[in-house]
Amino acid sequence: AEAEDGGPQPEKHCGHGRGGMGEDVKRKEDQRFITGRGNYVDDIKKPDMLHCEIVRSPHAHARIENIDKSRALDVDGVVAVLTADDLREYDLATMPTLMADTQDVLVNDKVKFQSQEVAAVIATDRYTAKDGAQKVVVDYDVLEPVVDAEASLEDDAPLIRDDIEDKEDNHCLDWETGDEEATAEAFEEADVTVTEDMLYQRLHPAPIETCGAVGDYDPGKDKLTVHMTSQAPHIHRTLFAQVSGIPEHKIRIVSPDVGGGFGNKVPIYPGYVVAAAASYVLEQPVKWVEERSENIQSTGFARDYDMTGELAATDDGEILAVRTDVLADHGAYNAVAQPSKFPAGFFNIFTGSYDIDTAYGSLTAAYTNTAPGGVAYRCSFRVTEAVYLIERMVKVLADELGMDPAEIRRKNFIQPEQFPYESSTGWNYDSGDYEGALDKALEMADYDHYREEQQRRIDEDADKLLGIGISSFTEVVGAGPGKTCDIAGVEMFDSAEIRVHPTGNATVRVGVQTQGQGHETTFAQIVAEELGMDVEDITVEHGDTDTDPYGLGTYGSRSTPVAGAAAAVASRKVREKAKAIAANELEAAEEDITWDRESGEFHVAGAPDRSVTITEIAAGAYMNHPSSEEPGLEAVNYYDPPEMTYPFGSYIVIVEVDRETGEVEFEKFVAVDDCGNRINPMIIEGQIHGGLAQGIGTAMLEHVTFDDNGNVTGGDFMNYLLPTSMEIPNFETGHTVTPSPHHPIGAKGVGESPTVGSPPAIVNAVVDAMSHAGITHVEMPMTPDTVWAKLDEAGLAT
């Protein structure tokens, strides 16, 4: 049953054929993407547009002694060469990071990571800018770098942040959560304890489109427009205003089509600031677009958490406590992108899907001579790291106790009747049915059969071992509420505005920004469902601060939980007004008008034949509006969520490990997800497939590495390996539906679930192939040589 005006709907509400909730509507945006009509930042061309190329440091740690621009300025077509000294005149030499650190826009004094921005060359075309950049002569006094977090915290490590007053070491921050004493007690009293060290290596989001911007200052209107690759245009505008001193209403940020974000486009980068500043000073449009290696080497990385996990349990597998200690590498600046009150992101959800009484986590973060970053790449604010920790540790414990990893999970799951559930680290889980998802996954994977097959291969000393890995993860997505979550002080709400036009179609504008997630389709579906309109009659717009309502942007899988809720609430506001208009049209009393979700029509109670459609009502709103109402038919909602949403899932990965080569092949890959009520199952499946591919990249291939001189050795696609169709198996996806009790349409986010949930399932599978021989962990990325070394250690290599 469903309240007439909202409340979660059961899954059987299936779009009613108009493209509402639950229908596999084909993505509206694909028409332009697959016909080459997308409009990305690099497609933007303006008359008299100049091009910017950034001069980057070849050294990771060096003092700048002199910059000679003269030879660059001699290049025909070079218009200007900018350094920190030039930006200082406009107070733009530094910029705040999202964690209120101060980052150089162009290096002021000392380079702190390889490929840091040193100077900018502006020229009439890109090639000339590049020629000019090669002629900027920079004298460096090279200093000793430190690229390892542990080494950077040693007493004799070179000091990186001498720009911070009284700073004497490379310590960045400390953080803790939970009850240290109670956890220590639980560990003392437990029958069994296990511990494991694991590195969640440095990764890079690597969207197909790199970052870029076109600054376009119009001196006539005194208005600065910046077209940029932004996952959060509104908050970027606010920060631009605060930093530049240009009034916010004189700034327009446009984020056009974005070719993938994955978290990479949340922070503000020096290139954006330089393009905007150069355009302001030169009064001509200026374009800056990164190359691939610039993107990998200088923009926000992900993870780099060196973790120790510990579990305390009873002999029969009841988990009593979890403890973790983390060494985090934050790079040269504290520029992680996350709500400001969460220095370790949402890592404190490391109790996962389990009812664990006590937990304690501590973390130290260090500065190193590496690019800043830390939260990005489908991470849900470090839930990736938290899920990896707990799901790996549960496997370690199961092996220690000789228990089946499915059984030990079942024994410790938070039960459906325990929701809303408050975890020992203070998180309020809205709903869940973890056992339901696991059971479904076990069945889809034919679990018992593969367990037998695994044993058979061990008994027969087969060349290829079989490993079965499970991950039963819980996510937390959809920040706010605004009182606990903010970006740079702005509360994390979101928004939607609906305008129904006289001829019966509508324009919907939202405060979030799609980067490939299909928002132009799914937001239209929400409105179609709630207003009884056809999805084809609805256009969704976003990414323009001049026209869209203020919102905090797309990351942390928050679009559906927050802006999706706003779209539903705004629709219901329109529906309320529509009732008054319907009453007028049908010459009935307003309280006698009911709305029928199935037909999408408004009718007089008890007289279904006396009805009007939303199209007729739209006409009435403009051509025959009742005297009790204003003309027009529109509504706006700013939605501050009462709580986050907790999607979850169970993934089962079955691998074959070759004892001779260490190669890992996927035999079966099952993913059961639960994101509450589903708007568009086909889009969800696309999200899951993409995210699982990235999880495979994480587990098997990806790693940003450095040599001792601070050179990025994993800074291009020759060395930073992405999975291709050759490495990706056939995914078998399934779902369960546990609606969010507080979300207006019962939906939870899903965009990051597969990347959060899959790496531990994959590692657990590879470990599982060798656990009978005592192997408890294999570090990511699990390249053949890493795996072979473990086989060798266990005496399994042939």
- CA–CA distance, 728 with 746 (Å, rounded to integer): 32
Q: Candidates 350-358, 596-604, 622-630, 741-749 — which segment interacts with ligand MCN by CB under 6 A?
A: 741-749
CB 66, min distance to ligand MCN, A: 41
Determine phi and psi for 122, rounding to 5 degrees: -110, 130
Residue 690 partner contact from ligand CUM, ligand MCN, none using kind-dependent CB cut-offs of 5 to 8 Å: ligand MCN
Number of residues that bind ligand CUM (CB under 6 A): 13
Q: Which is nearer to ligand CUM, 263 or 690 (CB)?
A: 263
Q: Does 480 bind ligand MCN (CB under 6 A)?
A: no
CB 200, min distance to ligand MCN, A: 16
CB 377, min distance to ligand CUM, A: 5
Q: Which is nearer to ligand CUM, 380 or 584 (CB)?
A: 380
User: Among residue numbers 208 through 237, which ones bind ligand CUM (CB under 6 A)?
Assistant: 231
- CA–CA distance, 583 with 65 (Å, rounded to integer): 77
User: Among residue numbers 550 through 579, which ones bind ligand MCN (CB under 6 A)?
Assistant: 554-560
Distance of CA 579 to the CA centre of its chain: 39
Question: Which of 271, 373, 436, 556 lies at the binding interface for ligand CUM (CB under 6 A)?
Answer: 556
Q: Which of 161, 168, 642 is nearest to 420 (CA)?
A: 642
- Which helix H or strand E contains 523, and what residues bound it? helix 519-531
CB 490, min distance to ligand CUM, A: 17
User: Among residue numbers 113 through 142, which ones bind ligand MCN (CB under 6 A)?
Assistant: none
Radius of gyration in angstroms for the set of CA atoms belonging to the chain, rounded to a whole number: 28
- Which of 379, 409, 515, 685 is labelled catalytic? 379
Distance of CA 307 to the CA centre of its chain: 21
Q: Does 553 bind ligand CUM (CB under 6 A)?
A: no
- CA–CA distance, 45 with 214 (Å, rounded to integer): 9
Q: Does 376 bind ligand CUM (CB under 6 A)?
A: yes
Residue 266 partner contact from ligand CUM, ligand MCN, none using kind-dependent CB cut-offs of 5 to 8 Å: ligand CUM
CA end-to-end span of the chain: 61
Q: Candidates 113-121, 174-182, 728-736, 749-757 — which segment interacts with ligand MCN by CB under 6 A?
A: 749-757
Question: Which of 600, 690, 695, 760 lies at the binding interface for ligand MCN (CB under 6 A)?
Answer: 690
User: Among residue numbers 21 through 60, which ones bind ligand CUM (CB under 6 A)?
Assistant: none
CB 57, min distance to ligand CUM, A: 27
634: number of Cβ within 10 Å: 17
> Catalytic: 231?
yes
- Is 435 in contact with 649 (CB distance < 8 Å)? no
CB 748, min distance to ligand MCN, A: 6
- Which of 231, 297, 454, 525 is labelled catalytic? 231
- CA–CA distance, 251 with 277 (Å, rounded to integer): 12
Three-state secondary-structure class, residue 436: helix
Q: Which two tokens stand for residue 68?
A: 């000679």
CB 515, min distance to ligand MCN, A: 4
Which amino acid belongs to residue 382?
R
CB 359, min distance to ligand CUM, A: 23
Q: Does 750 bind ligand MCN (CB under 6 A)?
A: yes
Q: Which is nearer to ligand MCN, 637 or 687 (CB)?
A: 687
Q: Does 747 bind ligand MCN (CB under 6 A)?
A: yes
Q: Which of 597, 603, 592 is nearest to 568 (CA)?
A: 597
Residue 603 partner contact from ligand CUM, ligand MCN, none using kind-dependent CB cut-offs of 5 to 8 Å: none
Q: Candidates 120-128, 373-381, 613-621, 658-666 — which segment interacts with ligand CUM by CB under 6 A?
A: 373-381
User: Among residue numbers 383 through 422, which ones bind ligand CUM (CB under 6 A)?
Assistant: none
Q: Does 648 bind ligand MCN (CB under 6 A)?
A: no
User: How wide is the angle at C-alpha 491 spanned by C-alphas 531 and 40, nearest 5°?
Assistant: 65
Residue whose C-beta lies closest to ligand CUM: 263
CB 261, min distance to ligand CUM, A: 6
Residues sharing a CB contact under 8 Å with residue 448, sequence separation 6 or more, in sequence order: none
Q: Which two tokens stand for residue 87?
A: 């930006």
User: Among residue numbers 5 through 64, which ones bind ligand MCN (CB under 6 A)?
Assistant: none
Residue 559 partner contact from ligand CUM, ligand MCN, none using kind-dependent CB cut-offs of 5 to 8 Å: ligand MCN
> Catalytic: 597?
no
- Binding track over 691-710 against ligand MCN, x by CB under 6 A: --------------------
- CA–CA distance, 146 with 165 (Å, rounded to integer): 20
> Catalytic: 417?
no
Residue whose tokens read 């928004």: 495
Residue whose tokens read 């006698």: 592
Q: Does 496 bind ligand MCN (CB under 6 A)?
A: no
Q: Candidates 256-264, 305-313, 710-718, 784-792 — which segment interacts with ligand CUM by CB under 6 A?
A: 256-264
- Is 356 in contact with 321 (CB distance < 8 Å)? yes
Q: Does 482 bind ligand MCN (CB under 6 A)?
A: no
Question: Which of 301, 421, 555, 651 lies at the binding interface for ligand CUM (CB under 6 A)?
Answer: 555
User: Among residue numbers 239 through 298, which ones bind ligand MCN (CB under 6 A)?
Assistant: 260-263
Q: Which is nearer to ligand CUM, 113 or 377 (CB)?
A: 377
- Is 262 in contact with 378 (CB distance < 8 Å)? yes
Q: Does 680 bind ligand MCN (CB under 6 A)?
A: yes
Q: Which is nearer to ligand CUM, 94 or 753 (CB)?
A: 753
- Which helix H or strand E contains 123, and what residues bound it? strand 117-123
- Which of 161, 252, 378, 409 is labelled catalytic? 378
> Catalytic: 379?
yes
314: number of Cβ within 10 Å: 14
Residues sharing a CB contact under 8 Å with residue 755, sequence separation 6 or more, in sequence order: 377, 378, 379, 384, 691, 692, 694, 695, 698
**What b-and-e string marks burial along 491-523, b requiring 16 or more CB atoms within 10 Å of the CB?**
bbbbbbbbebbeebbbebbbbbbbbbbbbbbbb
Question: What angle do helix axes 447-459 and 434-445 make, rounded to 10 degrees?
Answer: 60
User: How wide is the angle at C-alpha 597 spanned by C-alphas 593 and 601, nearest 5°?
Assistant: 50
Question: Which of 123, 379, 442, 618 lies at the binding interface for ligand CUM (CB under 6 A)?
Answer: 379
Task: Return left, alpha or beta for 557; rule: phi > 0 is left, psi -120 to 50 is alpha, else beta.
Answer: left
Number of residues that bind ligand MCN (CB under 6 A): 35
One DSSP character per residue, 721-789 reads: PPP-TTT---EEEEE-----SSSTT-B---TTHHHHHHHHHHHHHHHHHHGGGT----PSS--HHHHHH
Q: Does 261 bind ligand CUM (CB under 6 A)?
A: yes
Q: Does 675 bind ligand MCN (CB under 6 A)?
A: yes
Binding residues (CB under 6 A) for ligand CUM: these are: 231, 261-263, 266, 375-380, 555-556
- Active-site residues: which are they? 231, 378-379, 752
Binding residues (CB under 6 A) for ligand MCN: these are: 207, 260-263, 378, 515-519, 522, 554-560, 675-680, 683-684, 687, 690, 747-752
